[in-house]
Amino acid sequence: MKKLSIFLAISVALMMAGDVIGKTPKRPRRTRQKTIKMVKKKKAKHASRTAKLAPVRRAVNIEDGDYNPYLQCEDTCNHVHGIDLSRYQGDVFWETVGENTKMAYVYLKATEGGDRIDPKFERNIELAHRYGLKVGSYHFFRPKTPLHLQLKNFTAQCLPGEQDLIPMIDVETTGGLSTSQFCDSLLTFLGMIEEAYHQKPLVYTFRNFYNWHLVGKLNDYQLMVAMYLDEEPVLADERDITLWQYTGKGRIVGINGLVDKSRFLGRHGLRDIRFRH
C-alpha cells in the first residue's frame, strides 16, 4: 500500500509538471505578437510623419508658387540667376543657399524712404558674403520723401566696402505725383546716388510701370525689369534690359516662403553690374 501511495504521488507530480512545461512556450509567443504589433505601429507612425515631411512634387508653373520647392531654376539653368530678399523672407539659411550653384548673386533690401531700415539687412549681408554670393543693396524709393533724407538713410547702410554689385533703386510708385513731378524727383535722386557712389545705380521697376511713366527717361541707366510671364519682357521703347525678374513666387532650398528670382538677359552678366571700388 505504501508503494502504491508513493507511485500515485509521483504520477500526480509528473502530470502537474507536464502542464507547466506545456504552458511555458506560450508566454514568449504572446509577448512576441505584442512586440510585433508595437513595432508595426511605430513603423506606421514613422511612415506617416515621413510622408508629411516629404515635399510634394508638382508640375512647374512660374506664375504659381505651388510647385516643387527644390526646383532651382524655372526656365533653364544655362543663365546666371539671382534673388532679392528683404525681411519678408525671415531668417535665411545662407549656408544652404550658398550651395546652390545657380544662385550667383543676391540683392538685399537695405532701406526705404527717409528712415526705414530693413531689420534683416545686417544679418543677411554678413551671411550672404560668408557663403559666397555676390551681394548688392537696394533702396525702396519714396518720391514724396525729402531726397536728402533718403540718401542719408541709404548711404548709412549701403557701405561701399560691403558691396559686390552696384546699388539698386526700387521704383514702384509715383507717390501720388504727376508723371513729370515723379520723374523729376527720381532723376534727381539717381544723380545723388551716382555722386555718392561714383557710378550709376541699377533701376528696378515693373514693365507696365516703366511703360506708363518712364519711357525715354532712363536711357543712361541699366534696368532690372519685373514681368511674371514665361516670355522675356519687351519695353515700349524697346530699350535694352540687363536683368529680368521672372517670378515673385520662386522657391529655393534654404528660404522659407516665396522669393523673387531673376536672371541676366542677352549677353549681360555679373561684369555689367559689378561695384567699382
pLDDT digits (tens, 9 = 90+) for 80-131: 889 999 999 989 999 999 887 778 899 999 999 999 999 999 999 999 999 9
Q: For the purposes of burial, counting CB atoms within 10 Å of the CB of 253, is it exposed (0-12), middle (13-18) or buried (19 or more)?
A: middle
pTM, whole model, 2 decimals? 0.74
Helix-strand-coil percent breakdown of the chain, rounded to 5? 40, 20, 40
Pick the closest to residue 259 from 247, 270, 271 (CA basis): 247
Q: What pLDDT is attached to residue 80?
A: 86
117-122 long-range Cβ contacts below 8 angstroms, 24+ apart: 117/153, 117/157, 118/86, 118/87, 119/87, 120/85, 120/86, 120/87, 120/89, 120/90, 120/91, 120/92, 121/157
Pick the closest to residue 165 from 53, 274, 55 (CA basis): 274
Cβ proximity of 83 and 259 under 8 Å: yes
Cβ proximity of 261 and 81 under 8 Å: yes
Pick the closest to residue 138 from 1, 277, 275, 276 (CA basis): 275
pLDDT digits (tens, 9 = 90+) for 152-188: 999 999 999 999 999 999 999 999 999 999 999 999 9
pLDDT digits (tens, 9 = 90+) for 54-89: 332 233 343 444 554 445 465 567 788 899 999 999
Pick the closest to residue 139 from 183, 108, 104, 174 (CA basis): 108
Residue with cell 530678399: 85
Q: What pLDDT is attached to residue 65?
A: 46
Cβ proximity of 216 and 237 under 8 Å: yes
At 17, list the grid cell: 509538471
Cα–Cα distance, 257 to 259 (Å, whole number): 7
Q: What pLDDT is attached to residue 229?
A: 87
